[in-house]
Amino acid sequence: MTLRHRTLQRADCEIHYWIGGPDDGPPIVFTHGATLDHRTWEPQIEAFTARYRILLWDVRGHGRSIPNRVPWTLREAADDLLAILDREDIERTVLVGQSMGGNLSQEIVYHHPGRASGLVALGCAGNTLPLSRRERLQARAVVRMLPWYPRKTLIRQEARASARDPQVREYVREAASRMAHRDMVAVMASLVGALHPEPGYRIEIPELLLHGEHDRLGNFRTAMPVWERRDPLARHLVVPDAAHLANQDNPDFFNDAVLSFLAEHGLDSPKG
């Protein structure tokens, strides 16, 4: 299916997004990870547009939403998405996010809980989960190191760690190469800053938490079971034969898991 391309002018950045599927279908928003773009979700388009109204977008500073002329923050990016939803008259939607996209989706759930009917988090940290002293120190070290890290090395290592499929690795290299190094550093530093442990906080909407079997980029293997136990409607799954971009490494498993999750919780109807 051909997606309809649209733009929205925001503060010092033109945001590009794409809409597909039936206009009266239940809405789903797919948000990509850091340094990538909406093409992250190409393996999902055909499976979801048959029934759902899907929205893909390039987060400010990524893909076609370049240039971004203001300092990048996760809060500003989340506000961009809310503005898109308002423009498209989408009051509540399922939020699907990979890595950074999952962090952004969680911020919307935290600050605007009425806008989300469900959350699918793929290969991302839990923004509000507790952090050990070691994890806090590691996060600070990453922020200090990033400005001095060689750009080409960063892109090469990101591509190698992101996927098992060579074609997916090439996509990561190509997409990341579009970003200026300062923007890459700002995005990654902002994600570290987005971790804000909230004792007693619970997400009360249905959640599907996934990470690739071979994902080594975060603490998902240990953190997502904690996340699952914390939230009453959360379920954790491991995507076999997949790394960080598990939706591309194993799209059949990912698509089936998400579609089953949506049906199980009644999120496959327009009212969600």
For 159-212, the pLDDT digits (tens) are 999 999 999 999 999 999 999 888 888 888 888 888 999 999 999 999 999 999
CATH of domain 4-264: 3.40.50.1820
For 1-58, the pLDDT digits (tens) are 689 999 999 989 999 999 999 999 999 999 999 999 999 999 999 999 999 999 999 9
Among the listed residues 73, 51, 48, the one whose alpha carbon sits nearest the alpha carbon of residue 60: 73
Among the listed residues 53, 57, 64, 65, the one whose alpha carbon sits nearest the alpha carbon of residue 1: 53
How far apart, in Å, are the Cα atoms of 200 and each of 64, 128, 171, 197, 203?
39, 10, 40, 9, 10
